């Protein structure tokens, strides 16, 4: 019995653990979803924390660089002409600052360079930052040098205006130069350099030669200040003859025709005096051209005009002068005369100024013009330039060098094989040259022929700058 009991006990002993294991297994199965959910939520929360930690610097930087409404409005008129930058003290990328300009950074200090052109001459505005916070312009000592293509250097000075430093002089276009920036803040010096290449084009020697591009140096010149008048060529009334018979006569012979050139003393007509019955001859009073013939053989004439002869070797220039220009006109003054096609040129001198104005409040002025070849024909309309003053200027360039880009007068300079568009400030001009007040240096080569090809190339490439 004991053995049976022991056997029963041995047989039944494993059953209890199996029953407990089954129970524990059920509990484990029921608990698994809750444990997996906790682990999943924990991992998800960790991912969110990691993502938030990595994204926070961008959010913070965006908030720092987000301009105000006033700044946003100003940014619409600001632009950055930079293309490539290098730093003398630390490497950096072409970053854009809060004002939309070029941001130059070193450690915790930065300056932002912008160009402002809203209804003003282009001016440079510089913003400063420390630890990504705006600085007062007075806290920074700033110096910027611009080196142009031909080597001319402009050193900019600044004064404080609102929260930026602004250049005291306009920045001449194009904004193409090597830029050297020096800043001093809290006893430490910072330096950067970068370059912009607006309005430039480089051509090979072969292309330059085939294009026929020619240059001339900008140089000192004496300008002839002139006024332009309009007029017409007229016959000189002192060189016009009307031939008549001194007696009542019958015309026997006419030896000339209209348009014929005659010489002084040349026989023109043979007439028979009807009173004395004698034959006599009319001769040419001067060299000239027969402009009118009013007679034929067989006619009986009295005091009628028989022939008209005009000497065109000298003609008059009849000019119209406005009242504002009349005080600049005087007798004996030299004038340059040219046809409307600018193909013929001659010089003349004023010999008459009308004492009274016309009904149109215009003064009549007359000049004598030598015409040995007969190219100046009465009735021909002309232009005339009258020199009224002379001016010695430091720099002048040919008028032929000027091109017009978006309504602005520009020229192209050449340094080596590189051409750059410039917008100088011009002054006085004469018929061939124009004074340069600023924007060009003496001796720089200026394109005088075929510059329109350079203009077209820049416009094609979208490099001509507009405001």
Question: Cα(435)–Cα(437) distance, rounded to whole angstroms?
Answer: 6
Question: Cα(212)–Cα(320) distance, rounded to whole angstroms?
Answer: 40
Q: What is the structure's pLDDT at 464?
A: 45
Bridge-partner residues for 310, per DSSP? 240, 289
Cα–Cα distance list, 169 to 121, 127, 142, 150 (Å): 9, 17, 15, 20
Positions of CATH 2.40.50.100 in the chain:
237-310
Mean pLDDT of the chain: 82
Does the pLDDT at position 290 exceed 50? yes
Provide the pLDDT confidence category of residue 46 given band limits of 50, 70 and 90.
low
Does the pLDDT at position 234 exceed 60? yes
Positions of CATH 2.40.420.20 in the chain:
201-225+390-461
**Cα dihedral 170, 172, 174, 179 sign:** negative
CATH class of 201-225+390-461: mainly beta
Lowest mean pLDDT among 30-39, 255-264, 286-295: 30-39
Q: What is the structure's pLDDT at 41?
A: 63
**Of the ranges 14-23, 66-75, 260-269, 380-389, the best mean pLDDT one:** 260-269
Report residue 445 as tokens: 């080569």
Positions of CATH 2.60.40.3340 in the chain:
70-198
Mean pLDDT for the stretch of residues 207-213: 92
Q: What is the structure's pLDDT at 120?
A: 74
366, 383 contact by CB (below 8 A): no
Does the pLDDT at position 66 exceed 70? no
Q: For domain 237-310, give the CATH number.
A: 2.40.50.100
CA nearest to 370, candidates 309, 321, 317: 317
Give 93-145 pLDDT, tens digit per residue. Answer: 578 999 999 999 999 999 999 988 777 788 999 999 999 999 999 999 999 99
DSSP for 182-243, written as a single string: EEEETTEEEEEEEEEETTEEE--HHHHHHHT-EEEE-EEEEEEEEEEEEEEEEE-GGGEEEE
Superfamily of domain 70-198: Domain of unknown function DUF4426 (2.60.40.3340)
SS3 375: coil
Mean pLDDT for the stretch of residues 404-432: 90
Radius of gyration, CA atoms only, the chain = 47
262, 313 contact by CB (below 8 A): no
Greater model confidence, 224 or 56: 224
Q: What is the structure's pLDDT at 417?
A: 92
Q: What is the structure's pLDDT at 360?
A: 84
pTM reported for the whole predicted model = 0.51
CA nearest to 177, candidates 384, 408, 9, 420: 420
């Amino acid at each position: 019995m004991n053995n049976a009991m022991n056997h029963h006990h041995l047989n039944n002993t494993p059953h209890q653990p199996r029953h407990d294991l089954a129970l524990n297994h059920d509990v484990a199965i029921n608990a698994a979803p809750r444990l997996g959910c906790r682990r999943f939520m924990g991992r998800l929360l960790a991912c969110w924390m990691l993502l938030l930690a990595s994204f926070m610097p961008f959010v913070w930087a965006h908030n720092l660089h987000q301009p105000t409404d006033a700044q946003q409005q100003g940014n619409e008129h600001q632009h950055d002409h930079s293309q490539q930058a290098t730093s003398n003290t630390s490497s950096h990328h072409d970053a854009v600052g809060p004002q939309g300009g070029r941001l130059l950074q070193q450690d915790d200090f930065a300056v932002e360079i912008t160009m402002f052109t809203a209804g003003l001459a282009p001016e440079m505005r510089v913003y400063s930052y420390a630890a990504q916070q705006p600085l007062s312009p007075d806290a920074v000592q700033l110096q910027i040098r611009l080196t142009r293509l031909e080597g001319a250097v402009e050193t900019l000075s600044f004064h404080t205006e609102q929260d930026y430093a602004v250049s005291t002089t306009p920045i001449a276009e194009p904004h193409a130069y090597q830029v050297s920036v020096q800043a001093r803040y809290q006893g430490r010096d910072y330096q950067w350099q970068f370059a912009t290449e607006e309005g430039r084009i480089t051509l090979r020697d072969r292309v330059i030669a085939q294009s026929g591009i020619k240059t001339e140096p900008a140089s000192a010149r004496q300008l002839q200040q002139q006024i332009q008048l309009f007029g017409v060529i007229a016959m000189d009334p002192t060189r016009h003859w009307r031939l008549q018979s001194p007696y009542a006569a019958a015309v026997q012979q006419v030896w000339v025709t209209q348009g014929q050139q005659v010489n002084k003393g040349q026989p023109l007509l043979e007439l028979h005096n009807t009173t004395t019955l004698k034959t006599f001859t009319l001769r040419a009073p001067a060299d000239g051209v027969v402009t009118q013939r009013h007679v034929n053989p067989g006619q009986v004439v009295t005091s009628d005009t028989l022939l008209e002869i005009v000497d065109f070797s000298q003609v008059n220039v009849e000019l119209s002068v406005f009242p504002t220009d009349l005080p600049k006109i005087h007798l004996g003054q030299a004038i340059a005369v040219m046809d409307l096609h600018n193909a013929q040129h001659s010089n003349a001198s004023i010999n008459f100024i009308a004492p009274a104005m016309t009904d149109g409040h215009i003064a009549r002025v007359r000049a004598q013009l030598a015409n040995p070849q007969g190219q100046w024909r009465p009735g021909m309309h002309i232009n005339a330039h009258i020199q009224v003053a002379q001016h010695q200027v430091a720099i002048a360039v040919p008028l032929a060098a000027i091109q017009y880009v978006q309504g602005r007068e520009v020229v192209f300079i050449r340094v080596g094989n590189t051409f750059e568009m410039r917008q100088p400030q011009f002054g006085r001009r004469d018929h061939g040259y124009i004074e340069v007040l600023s924007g060009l240096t003496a001796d720089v080569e200026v394109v005088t022929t075929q510059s329109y090809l350079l203009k077209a190339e820049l416009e094609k490439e979208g490099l001509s700058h507009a405001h």
